[in-house]
Structure 1
Amino acid sequence: MNIQAAEATTPLLTISGARATIRLNRPAVHNRIEPADLVKLGEHFAAVEANPEIRVLVLTGTGKSFSSGYHLGDMAERPNADVTARADAPSFEGVADQLERLRVPTICRLNGGVYGGSTDLALCCDFRIGVDTAEMFMPAARLGLHYYPSGMIRYVSRLGLNAAKKLFLTAEKIQAAEMLAIGYLTEMVPAAELDARVDALADRLAAMAPLAVQGVKRSLNEIARQEFDVEGAIARAKASQASEDLQEGLRAFREKRAPVFKGR
């Protein structure tokens, strides 16, 4: 029996201090995402959202690839399945949107290639650190598929219209250097440096004032979607001004030491 296939599971959640890690775990099929994985991802995202101790989430994959995207066999078997979010069952779009809207900052640890719908999962994260051997492509047009709305919005708002058109309309595969150039990758590193760089960024994010980080993240995502709630942003700004964390930050600045934020 193939050992990798025997070890395949739905995504795994681990928590260490203020950091949560979700790992896609079907390495024999390049971490293909199946219907059961959508359910489990939704559960994991909800658990992260509900845990006030968590300040950063890392999303990654087992093996040589980040993810080969959604299971095409399921799409073939269910041609009438909803392509967009629905209230009574998870959809790929719904789970992706849930990831984008998480209160905590998120890092996608791109340990290898990323394809199809999983390119959007990575775009849902706030940062994407990838190995210099990574590659990506969006095969929707080659498969005859019109993509779901929020995924196209993310592509255009994060990468720009020209890059989105190239990736969607040509289904052309691009390499890590171009992924970095168009803004898909936040950083590109050799494989040997991937964990250290992800750890450093996760530690830095976890050390920031959580109320400020989470509030600003929400506001920036609203702006990107052209859904900016100005009154909500003002309320979050006022709450940060009245927070214990701001007082701690100011004291630490005066005392020339690292602040210790409590999230209140």
Structure 2
Amino acid sequence: MNKFGSEVAAGKQRNEEASELGNLPTLHVSKGIARIQLNRSRQHNRFEPTDIETFSEIVATLARQSSVRVLMITAQGPSFSSGFDLDTLSSDRAAACTALFAAMCDLVEECPFPTICGLNGNIYGGATDLALACDFRIGTRGCLLQMSPSRLGIQYYYSGLRRYVERLGLSQTKRLFLTGEQVDSITLLQMGYLTEVCTSDALEARLEHFAGMLAQRSPASLRGLKTSLNSIRRGTADPVEINAKFFESLTSPDAREGLKAWCERRPPSFADV
């Protein structure tokens, strides 16, 4: 290859790398609200190995930040996500990459602060578990969900099955996993998968309002309540420990500020944890 050809090849590689970088999930943080956005819209925001790595690194970093009060997960384009990349699923990297995807969803579930997923469109496969790992899911009217393991001839990882059974119950989980049928937004709302449904035009405003409302609450209270509620749901709760944390909170700085603000008829100003 001559010098000109080498330069063209190098330029093409740089363009491909820049394009790939633009497709990766991005983070924006403002006033304690963090937003991770999926940007692979041309591929319906499928999760490729680089997306899993980037997303996981972002979530792990946010979880250590005391100034973060809420996490939102959103996506560009007409779909939320088509799920795990099928090319990777059919490669020799399938086991390793799906294990990383499961770990990524676990990281979201374990975030100490409240998490919200905004479903701007259809959601499939593994992406349904990512959304389910969040505390709240707000979807657009008409969005569809489909779980495809039985269609693909595979089974599913433990933590994803656990999340489904814990949140939706065994009967609804069997319906989604065993039939592989598409389910509409109204049904998703009725079965408890979606927290609420709104129009596409209203989604962004509703997400910002919901996140803003949570960001105004006591971070210490939110984190403590989330931990206690999750432990009760999993059957690992220690009543003595939960009661001790409750009684301790009665004399906390946040309790003093909250009661004072209530008496003064003003919004409270809670400090970061």
8 Å CA contact 2:49–2:97 kept in 1: the answer is no
- Unaligned 5+ residue runs, structure 1? 86-90
Corresponding position of 1:175: 184
- 1:182-207 Cα shifts (integer Å, max 9, x gaps): 11110100111111111111010000
Tell me how far apart the structure 1 counterparts of residues 70 and 228 of structure 2 sit (CA, whole Å). Answer: 17
Q: What SS is found at the alignment partner of 2:23?
A: coil
Aligned equivalent of 2:42, options 7, 18, 28: 28
Tell me how far apart the structure 2 counterparts of residues 14 and 156 of structure 1 sit (CA, whole Å). Answer: 32
Corresponding position of 1:56: 70
8 Å CA contact 1:10–1:37 kept in 2: the answer is yes
TM-score (norm 2): 0.88
Q: Percent identity?
A: 42
After superposition, the CA RMSD in angstroms is 1.9
Q: What SS is found at the alignment partner of 2:90?
A: helix
Q: What SS is found at the alignment partner of 1:81?
A: helix
8 Å CA contact 1:153–1:225 kept in 2: the answer is no
- Unaligned 5+ residue runs, structure 2? 1-14
Aligned equivalent of 1:256, options 262, 265, 271: 265
8 Å CA contact 1:84–1:149 kept in 2: the answer is no
Of the two, which has the highest radius of gyration? 2
Corresponding position of 2:231: 222
Tell me how far apart the structure 1 counterparts of residues 162 and 124 of structure 2 sit (CA, whole Å). Answer: 18
| Compared CA separation, residues 84 and 38, structure 1 to 2 (3 A) | closer
Does residue 66 of the first structure (1) align with residue 94 of the second (2)?
no
| Compared CA separation, residues 60 and 80, structure 1 to 2 (3 A) | closer
Count of residues paired in the alignment:
256
Q: What SS is found at the alignment partner of 1:188?
A: strand
Most deviating of 63-72 and 224-233: 224-233
Corresponding position of 1:139: 148
Does residue 40 of the first structure (1) align with residue 54 of the second (2)?
yes
Measured after TM superposition, the shift of residue 75 of structure 1 is 1.4
Tell me how far apart the structure 2 counterparts of residues 229 and 95 of structure 1 sit (CA, whole Å). Answer: 27
Structure 1 residue runs of 4 or more that deviate by more than 4 Å after TM superposition: 5-8, 82-85
Measured after TM superposition, the shift of residue 219 of structure 1 is 1.5
Aligned equivalent of 1:209, options 218, 222, 233: 218
Tell me which protein shows more helix as a share of its residues.
2
